[in-house]
Structure formats: C-alpha cells, structure tokens
Amino acid sequence: MRQRFVSAALAAGLAFLLAFLVSPIAYIFYYIYTQLAAVAPLLASPYYFDVSPAAFQNAFQIERAGSVYRLVLNGPDMGVIANSLWVGLTVALADTLLGLAIAFALAKYEFRGRTALGIVAAAPLIVVPFVTAYVIRIFLNPLWGTLNWAISSLGIPLRVEIRGLAAVALAQMFLYLPIAYLNIYTAVSRVDPTLEEVANNLGASGSRAARDIVLRLATPGIAAAFTLVFIMSIDDIAAPIIFQDYPEARKLMSYQIYQYFISSISGQISPATALLALILLAVSLAAFLAVRRYVGLSQYAMLVRQLRPRSYRPGPGGYALIALSFLVVIAAAAPLAGALVLVFADRWASSPLPSGLSPSLGLDRLETVLTNPYYVRGIENTVVYSLTATAAVVVMGILISVAAARFRGRAAGVLDALATAPIAIPGLVVAYSYFLALLPLSGWLAGCCPDIAHIINPLDNPATAIVIGYSVRKLPFAVRSMYAGLQQLHISTEEVSLNLGASYGRTLASVVLPLIRNNVISGALIAFVYMTSEVSLGVTLGSLKGLGYDHAMPITAVMSVDIQGSVNGLFYAAALGLILALIQIAAILLVTRVLKTRYGFIV
C-alpha cells in the first residue's frame, strides 16, 4: 500500500520536474541546434568575447588632478560572456574571503558587540531589489557620492571613481555578502567542537586548530558559498540595470537577456539571446557540478539547528579580524539602511546623504503605493503569483520529499537531484526557456484549443509562466525542509499506523504531516518570501504584457520600471521595497522565533 503511494508520488514529482524544468531547458538546446549557423559567428565576435590587450586598457587609472589623486576603476571589458565570468568570479571570491573573515570572527571569538555584529551582518538578507543597488550608485557617485565625501572629510587627497563593470561587481559584493557569510558560518558551526579541542589539547594554538581542523572540515560549505554567490552574480540584473548608464555595465549576459525580453513584445525570438541563456546555464551547472564533488548543495538549502562552536579570547590578530568584520558588515548593511531611509527622504540624488527626511513624506508614499491602481495591481500580482505558486510548492514538496525519503531505488536519487537543481539554474534561463518553449506551443495550440493557447501564451498571459517558474525555482527550499523532517521521523512511526489498519494516505495525513508540520510551514514560508522578492522571472516575463493598468508585473518588476523612470519613481520603488522588507522580517521572525528553525539559506 505504501509502496504504491510512494511510487505514485515519485511519478508525479518526476513528471512535474520533467515538464516544467527539464523540457523547457532541453528546448533551448534544441533551438540552438536548429540555429547553429546563425549563432556560431557570434562567439567569434569581440562584443561577446575579447581577451586582447585592448580589453584591459581602461581597467584602472591613477592620475593627479591638481592636489588630488584620481583613481578610476572600470574593470576590464572582455566582452559579454567573459565579463559575466570575471565579475561573477571576483564577486564570489571577495564575498567568500570576507564572509570567511566575518564567520570566523563571529564563530571563534568572544567579544563585546558579537550579537550586534551577527545581526547587522545578516541584515542585508532582507532583499530590497534595485533600491539597494541604487543607493550603492549614490555612494559611489564620482562627484557627490558618499564614499568621496567620506574620503575628503578625512583629509585624504584622493577621489575614487568606481564605474561600469567594477561598480556592478562592487554592488553585487555588498548585496551577496550575507549569503556567503551565513553559509560559511553554518559550515563552521557544524564542525564538532570536540575535534578542535583535541587539537588544542595536543598543542595546537587556536588559529592553528582553526586552520587544520575547522577550515578543512568546513571546506564544502565554503565551496558551496562561493558557487552560490557566483551563480547569483551572473544571474543578477538589478546591479547592471542600475549602472546601465555606463555602456560596459550592459555588456553582461544577464543584462543582454533582460534587454531582449523588454524588446520582445513583438514575439520575435533571437538566436543570440538563446545562446547567451545556454552559456549562462552551462556556466552555472559547471559550477554546481564542480562543488558537488565536495558536497551536494542540497544540505545547504535547509534550515539547521546549530551547535555552539568553540570560541576563544581574541589576540591582536583576532581583534584585527573583528575590526575588519565590523567595517565590512556596516558597509554591506548601509545600502539596506539607505534604501529604507529613502522612503522618508525628500531628495537624494546629488548629495552624499539624503535630505528633507520626514515621516509624513514616507506615509504619503506608502499611501500612494497602497492606493494607486498601478501599484496595487503590482502588489496583487505578487500576492496572487506567490500564493498560487506556494500552494503548488507545498503539494509537490510533500510528494517529492515523501518519494525521495521512502522510495527504494535509484529514481529517488534522480528525483532528489532534480528537485535541488533549480538552486543552480539561473532564473533568467528558466524565464527564457519558458518564453522560448511556450510561444511556439501556444501558436501550435491556437488552431485547436484557443483558450488553452491564450492561457499559456507568455505575451498575452505571462502569469502562467511566472507562477510555474516561481514554483519550480523555489521548490528546493520546501523539499529540503520537508525532507529533513521526514528523515528525522523514524519509519516505524508510519509502520505502526499501517499495522493498525490505516491506509498510507491516512497515515500521511494523520501521523506524518502533523509531525513534520513545522518543516512544511517553514519550507512554505521561506519559498513564499523568496517568491515575493524574486527578480529574474518577474522583470522579464512580467514585463511582456506591457505597462498598462492591467499589467502582469509583480512588485519587483514595478520597482525596476519605476527606478528607471522618473525621479519620484525611485521613492515609490523604495516604498514598495519597505513593504517587501516588512514581509521578509515577519517571515524571518516566524521561522526563527515561532517555528524555532534557522533561516540559514537564501537565493
């Protein structure tokens, strides 16, 4: 009886993932194969790949302008494909090293302000898309930016101009630092403190034991953090959009795919974009498979309870690490603080700090976004998309986790791997593959079933693709959480119920699900929150229906349009961002305080 149910759950899970993940992505391969003649020359174009000396000419400059030194950082312009790679690798490397420093300071040293450092370090987990990147742009503004204002206030004769791809990389570094830090902290905390104590007892100093034992055993977590940040960086479109005034910032694969969506309301399909999507996918999957050599990302996509690691009183080196951590963490949290302050500011475009702060201004803006039909439509879209997709995620999550935990055979492993894979697949690739596959499919169905054709047509009705995309992309969070619950539940708990005469369905409903209730709620809640702040699918597929009052954009896409439009749009985007932030804070409090699980991973 149980085997029949588990087999059916396995079949349902595989069918869902094959239909909505594997097939659309496979279709990109097929499409490229049919367009080989058109796409092959693109790879030879220096616009896409250029490692000639000219690419590095303007990477950085130092010059003297009167009594002040001027440092200009652009980063090399190596063409769309190579730019994405170097920006992604730089961001991942920097965030991994900084995340390691912060994680070690927090996990290994006892000092005043440790709790505060932990909270501030995790604060940028609250995603306020576009607005935080915009605040970083203001910080970096060569003329009146906060950075140069601070440098000149200190009396240093230097002006720093961070532009183009370097600016995109720096912004992403700030935005993704908490992902690296939290994953590394989790990995470090998971190392049994006794292993370190024995090394200390045999004569190893605190730093030696940390290096020989903790760091080595945390390597899989560090590698996973690097890969996650890399994948998120090459998939990011918020920073390139914010810095799009610099032409080089547009020469990234993510921006090119996004730009194509904006101009594809006519329904044309571009072979070059398909090729970029394929390369983006290949690079992400390569990174994912490389890190799987150490560890499945799956174990990082879950909530964990943590052991208290062994900690020490810091020496001079320790204090230096703590000071660096405070500096980096405050810098990384500043954009979020700036984004929230923007809601209440009158102006912040050509000054180092916002001016004209007033609570009534903020309340007016919040009232506008909660009453203006254009914004209300965006909020409604987000709520409808996210709730529908969360319902799908819960149902599929239960079926897949039951099948993965209880099915005996290789298919369970395949299902588990497929359900985890969306972590490694850029949202832009999912969006593009849906567009590419659904457009001809709806055309093909138009003759026989016009209603179905209308529902799945991404130009008429992007909601369908967005909801499916949300549910596929955020499925890993629900599956990992529920799977973890099922693994902790001894199988005899189910067997006793079956032995007393209950069917497996009834056993699931009355024994298993109540016992893993917290895992189900946590998984659903986290999936829901990530959907509300999701960017890649929203700004691409969401924009296909245009900008009228019946638009299909979720909040994040509305924020993207607003921030690129009028000056006032920035403030309304910030107000929408505040609503998103409040939703996320409520969810984090629910997960950590009520459900007593840890908010340990985010995409």
Q: Applying CB under 8 A, which residues contact another protein?
A: 192, 194-195, 197-205, 208, 212-213, 216-217
Cα separations (Å) of 95 from 224, 277, 318, 425? Answer: 12, 25, 19, 20
Instruction: Supply the angle between the helices 567-589 and 373-406 in degrees, to the nearest 10.
Output: 40
CB of 202 to another protein, least distance (A): 4
Strand, coil or helix: 15: helix
Residue nearer to another protein on the CB measure, 178 or 206 = 206
Choose among 493, 540, 525: nearest CA to 590. Answer: 525
Residue nearer to another protein on the CB measure, 143 or 202 = 202
Residue nearer to another protein on the CB measure, 201 or 510 = 201
Strand, coil or helix: 361: helix
| Spatial distance between the Cα atoms of 186 and 304, rounded to a whole number of angstroms | 8
Residue nearer to another protein on the CB measure, 58 or 200 = 200
CB of 201 to another protein, least distance (A): 5
Phi, psi dihedral angles at 68 (to 5 degrees):
-115, 140
CB of 114 to another protein, least distance (A): 19
CB of 191 to another protein, least distance (A): 10
Residue nearer to another protein on the CB measure, 216 or 517 = 216
| Spatial distance between the Cα atoms of 564 and 171, rounded to a whole number of angstroms | 17
Residue nearer to another protein on the CB measure, 221 or 458 = 221
Cα-only R_g, the chain: 25
CB of 294 to another protein, least distance (A): 11
Whether 589 contacts 581, CB under 8 Å: no
CB of 520 to another protein, least distance (A): 33
Residue type, 588: I
Choose among 133, 174, 150, 146: nearest CA to 353. Answer: 146
Residue nearer to another protein on the CB measure, 205 or 268 = 205
| Spatial distance between the Cα atoms of 354 and 363, rounded to a whole number of angstroms | 17
CB of 215 to another protein, least distance (A): 10
Residue nearer to another protein on the CB measure, 217 or 337 = 217
181: Cβ contacts below 8 Å, ≥ 6 apart: 95, 98, 99, 102, 103, 121, 122
CB of 67 to another protein, least distance (A): 52
* Percentages (nearest 5) of helix, strand, coil residues in the chain: 75, 5, 25
Note the helical H segments in 407-426.
410-420
CB of 193 to another protein, least distance (A): 9
Residue nearer to another protein on the CB measure, 217 or 395 = 217
Strands of the sheet containing 68-73, edge to edge, are 60-65, 68-73, 158-162
CB of 196 to another protein, least distance (A): 9
Residue nearer to another protein on the CB measure, 310 or 545 = 310
CB of 216 to another protein, least distance (A): 5
CB of 549 to another protein, least distance (A): 60
Provide the CB-side half-sphere exposure for 462 (13 A, CA). Answer: 30
- Secondary structure letter of residue 213 according to DSSP: I
Residue nearer to another protein on the CB measure, 215 or 234 = 215
**What are the beta bridge partners of residue 68?**
65
H or E element: which one contains 122?
Answer: helix 114-122
What's CA 477's distance to the chain center, in Å?
Answer: 12
Whether 568 contacts 560, CB under 8 Å: no
Residue nearer to another protein on the CB measure, 208 or 596 = 208
Whether 466 contacts 385, CB under 8 Å: yes
CB of 291 to another protein, least distance (A): 17
Choose among 592, 97, 76, 579: nearest CA to 343. Answer: 579
Residue nearer to another protein on the CB measure, 86 or 312 = 312
Choose among 307, 289, 284, 292: nearest CA to 220. Answer: 292
